[in-house]
C-alpha cells in the first residue's frame, strides 16, 4: 500500500521534512485500511456527492487543491517575504490531508457510492483529524484538516489554514454555479 500511496500522491515529494512526509503517507494508508474505497476508485468517483452528474474525479479535485495551495503559498512568500511567514511543508501536508477523512464518508451499495453513517454523523474534518492524530501528524497540520471546511469558520485559521481553505473553495464553488 505504501507504494500505491506514493503513486497516488506524487506531491508527497514536495514535503521536505522526511518525518512529516512519512506521517502524511501513513495517514492515507490508515484511511484506506478503514475505507471501502481503493486508490483506483478515487480516480473515478466524483469529488463531491453534492453536485449532480459531477464529472470531476475525487483525485482531480484533491490534486488541484494541493497545486493551487502550493503555488499560492510560494507566490505569497515571494511578495511578502519575512512579513508573512509561511511554512511550505505545512501547506503541502495540510492540503494533501484536508480531505483524507472523506474516505470514511462513503459506503458502497452494489456499484453505487453513497454517504456512510460516519459521513452523516461526523463529517470528514473530524474523522480526518482523528486519522492524522493517530499517525502523530503535528497540530499545525491537524489544524488545517479541522478548519479547511465550513466547520472551521468558527475558528481563527492560521496563514497556512487560510491558504488551503481558499484553495479548496475556489476549486469547488464554481462547480455549484
Ligand atoms: Fe473537505
Closest CA relative to residue 12, chosen from 66, 60, 56: 66
Q: Is residue 46 part of a domain?
A: no
Give the pTM.
0.95
Q: Is residue 76 part of a domain?
A: yes
Count the domains in the chain.
Answer: 1
Q: Is residue 47 part of a domain?
A: no
Ligand 1 centroid vs 19 CA: distance in angstroms?
A: 24
Ligand 1 centroid vs 125 CA: distance in angstroms?
A: 7
Q: Is residue 146 part of a domain?
A: yes
Amino acid 39: pLDDT: 94
Ligand 1 centroid vs 55 CA: distance in angstroms?
A: 18
- 81 has a pLDDT exceeding 80: yes
Q: Is residue 45 part of a domain?
A: no
Phi/psi at 54 (nearest 5 deg)?
-70, 125
What is the average per-residue pLDDT within 163-172?
97
Q: CA distances (Å), 140 to each of 52, 57, 97, in order?
A: 34, 28, 12
Set of cell numbers at residue 17: 521534512
Q: Is residue 171 part of a domain?
A: yes
Amino acid 96: pLDDT: 98
Ligand 1 centroid vs 58 CA: distance in angstroms?
A: 11
Q: Is residue 48 part of a domain?
A: no
Domain that includes residue 75, residue range: 2-40+55-176
Amino acid 50: pLDDT: 80
Higher pLDDT, 29 or 49: 29
What is the average per-residue pLDDT within 90-115?
91
Q: CA distances (Å), 91 to each of 34, 96, 129, 142, in order?
A: 25, 9, 16, 11
Ligand 1 centroid vs 84 CA: distance in angstroms?
A: 25
Q: Is residue 86 part of a domain?
A: yes
Can you tell me whether residue 54 is helix, strand or coil? Answer: coil
Ligand 1 centroid vs 101 CA: distance in angstroms?
A: 8
DSSP code of 49?
S
What is the average per-residue pLDDT within 37-54?
88
Amino acid at each position: 500500500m505504501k507504494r500505491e500511496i506514493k503513486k497516488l500522491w506524487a506531491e508527497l515529494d514536495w514535503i521536505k521534512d522526511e518525518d512529516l512526509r512519512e506521517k502524511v503517507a501513513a495517514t492515507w494508508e490508515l484511511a484506506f485500511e478503514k475505507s471501502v474505497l481503493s486508490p483506483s476508485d478515487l480516480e473515478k468517483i466524483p469529488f463531491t456527492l453534492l453536485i449532480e452528474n459531477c464529472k470531476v474525479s475525487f483525485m482531480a479535485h484533491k490534486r488541484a487543491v494541493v497545486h493551487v495551495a502550493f503555488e499560492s503559498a510560494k507566490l505569497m512568500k515571494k511578495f511578502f517575504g519575512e512579513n508573512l511567514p509561511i511554512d511550505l511543508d505545512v501547506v503541502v501536508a495540510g492540503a494533501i490531508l484536508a480531505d483524507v477523512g472523506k474516505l470514511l464518508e462513503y459506503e458502497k451499495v452494489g456499484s453505487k457510492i453513497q454517504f456512510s453513517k460516519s459521513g452523516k454523523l461526523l463529517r470528514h474534518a473530524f474523522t480526518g483529524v482523528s486519522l492524522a492524530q493517530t499517525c502523530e501528524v503535528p497540530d499545525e497540520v491537524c489544524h488545517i484538516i479541522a478548519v479547511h471546511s465550513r466547520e472551521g469558520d468558527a475558528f481563527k485559521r492560521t496563514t497556512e489554514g487560510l491558504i488551503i481553505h481558499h484553495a479548496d473553495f475556489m476549486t469547488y464553488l464554481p462547480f455549484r454555479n
